[in-house]
Structure 1
Amino acid sequence: MLVASLVLAPLVLLPGTVGAQDDTVFATQSQIRELDRRLERIERVLDSSAMNELLQASESLTRDLRELRGEVETLRHEVNRLSTRQRDQFRHLDERVASVESGATVPDSASRDEVVELDLPDADEQAAYQTAFDDLMAGDYTTAMRKLEQFLEDYPDGSFAANAWYWLAEAKYASGEFEAALEDFERLREDFPESEKSGDALLKIGYVHFELEDFDAAREALEEVRAEYGGTTLDRLARERLQRIDQAQ
């Protein structure tokens, strides 16, 4: 009897054991589904975070690019100034040599005028511009705006006037003074249409209208950028902002 009881015991417990296993399998499947849902939520959060990081990286690169372009701009002006000065020096030297060879004399007053003209090639203007530009690059927009406005009063038709208008508008744009920035960008386009900054100003006009949520005006300016500067960095930036306009509308 003892042996029979031992043999039958597993058979009696078998049905209950199978039911427990079914419950365990069902619970495990439920847990897997819950984990799947949690993973999906985490992936969405990660995707969002990655997008934010990309946007932040893009903004950082834009700032770096602006700073580099500013430095290149300053260097370009310096090179142009030195090249012009060198050409003038050689031209005046050639004229004086030719005069000596022909037996003519060069008045002392003319010589003094030439020396003064060559030794002082808008040094004050360049120094004033560079000081304001340095403040802008350091992020001190308030001081930069004050100095640039003073610069434009002192040198309204100077070599750096167009650039001063552009960076003044940039400082206002960075400070959130969009309407004032728009006026300065448009002033640059109107008064200095041949300036190298004219295309950048047109792009920023589109940006300003975007910030003011005047999407039609923004689209018009950006499409003009694409038409005039196709295949350039300005074209690419205009295209990217147009995509944002499409998403916003």
Structure 2
Amino acid sequence: MRNLLAAGLILTMAGTIPAIAQDEGDAPLVSGNDAGPPGGSSGGELFFMVEDLRAEVEHLRGQIEETSHQLQRLRKQARERYIDLDERLVDLDSRLSELEESSEGSSSSDKISDSGNSSDSDEKKDGSGEPASYRQPDKVEREAYASIQYLIQEEQDYEAAIDEIYSFLEEYPEGDLSVNAYYWLGELYLSQGKYEQAQQAFTIVTSRHASHRKAPDALFKRAVAHDRADNTEQARKVLDQLEERYPESKASALGREYRNEMG
């Protein structure tokens, strides 16, 4: 009897063990099904951060475009001011040329009298006296001029060089390098086939700075600009002025050769 009870107890316990084991094995599955996807909240924050950065970049890009537009407008206005000044100087130079031609018939005694009464500054103005002294540039001005030369000779970015020249002349309207800048402005316009603008730039050198070392070269290039613009008669007149004013200059020798090629 006792053995029968023991056997029944063993069987009863054997029937309950699988159920317990099953319950314990199911526990991790229930825990796994209840857990949410990891990192969901961090991904959403990253998305909104990227959108904010994108909006900020677009805003900065708009500001850069607006600033660039304003800079171009200011450069255009500065160029227009100088072109207007150049045109006035060209007109003045034309009137002076007419006066010189009308005075060619005067007697030599009158010329001697005029030269005797003229001041030393007047002699320097027409290039017959000693070279006039010009304000020498400081370090900052030389560096600004060097950047123009770099654009011309190294980069060959002529449009950028023209803009830099106008900015340079606005900052330094008078001085030794300012005369050089006007000369290079004429050279750049001449290379681009803008002959009227080239004549204007060269005229500033020949009219306002006749005693400068660049004046003979500028006068020669004025003749070249007239010739390329199919104004041969005016080109010859300018070459005559070059021979009369600077007969010993290299530019005058070039002018004689150029005249022979013109025929």
Q: TM-score, normalised to structure 2's length?
A: 0.46
Structure with the higher fraction of residues in helix conformation: 1
Q: Larger relative contact order (C-alpha < 8 A, sep ≥ 6)?
A: 2
Kindly name which structure, 1 or 2, has the bigger radius of gyration based on alpha carbons.
2
Please give the TM-score of this superposition, normalised by the length of structure 1. Answer: 0.48
